[in-house]
Structure 1
């Protein structure tokens, strides 16, 4: 996880509250190449959203597992993801 955001958000497609992944839904996950929101699985199940072929192929090549990353790389990705986000600039 490169950004843990502890808030509840509405379903971005229907606008309704109370879906299972609502808490921390906009937290960002990564495998070092792709970045996605924590609630992506919800939208896949509920709405059958389409994923880019490149994403699916990449996941399949990795056996659908997130490979281990060096802590330094995780910090780099966190900084990239948080560019322009003043919330994360707090000490």
Structure 2
């Protein structure tokens, strides 16, 4: 969708019998929406439908990520990567 400004790694496996490998998956954001780095795979292979609001948002930005300040990245990190439950 958009280039990443912030990310978090995780593990993912595809549907049983379609891809046996496990791969690292990143949680990506443009500061307003977040999605996983393997989203394109699921759109292509499984015809996952994207939220039209996220598509309109990306299109309105000409598919380019915003230039976020350090403070904005810290705020996103605090929101997305809350580790209080760890």
TM over 0.5: yes
CA–CA separation in structure 2 for the residues paired with 1:24 and 1:70: 27
CA–CA separation in structure 2 for the residues paired with 1:63 and 1:79: 27
Following TM superposition, by how much is the alpha carbon of 1:38 offset from its aligned partner in structure 2, in angstroms?
Answer: 1.2
Greater relative contact order (CA < 8 Å, ≥ 6 in sequence):
2
- TM-score, structure 1 length as denominator? 0.73
Following TM superposition, by how much is the alpha carbon of 1:55 offset from its aligned partner in structure 2, in angstroms?
Answer: 0.6
Aligned residue pair count: 79
The structure whose residues are more often strand, as a share, is 2
Following TM superposition, by how much is the alpha carbon of 1:24 offset from its aligned partner in structure 2, in angstroms?
Answer: 2.2
Q: Which runs of 5+ in 1 are unaligned?
A: 87-91
SS of 1:69's equivalent in the other structure is coil
Equivalent residue, structure 2, for 1:42: 41
- TM-score, structure 2 length as denominator? 0.76
Q: Which runs of 5+ in 2 are unaligned?
A: none
Output the aligned Cα RMSD.
1.9
CA–CA separation in structure 2 for the residues paired with 1:81 and 1:36: 11
Q: Does 1:9 align with 2:12?
A: yes
SS of 1:23's equivalent in the other structure is strand
Q: Which runs of 4+ in 1 moved over 3 A?
A: none
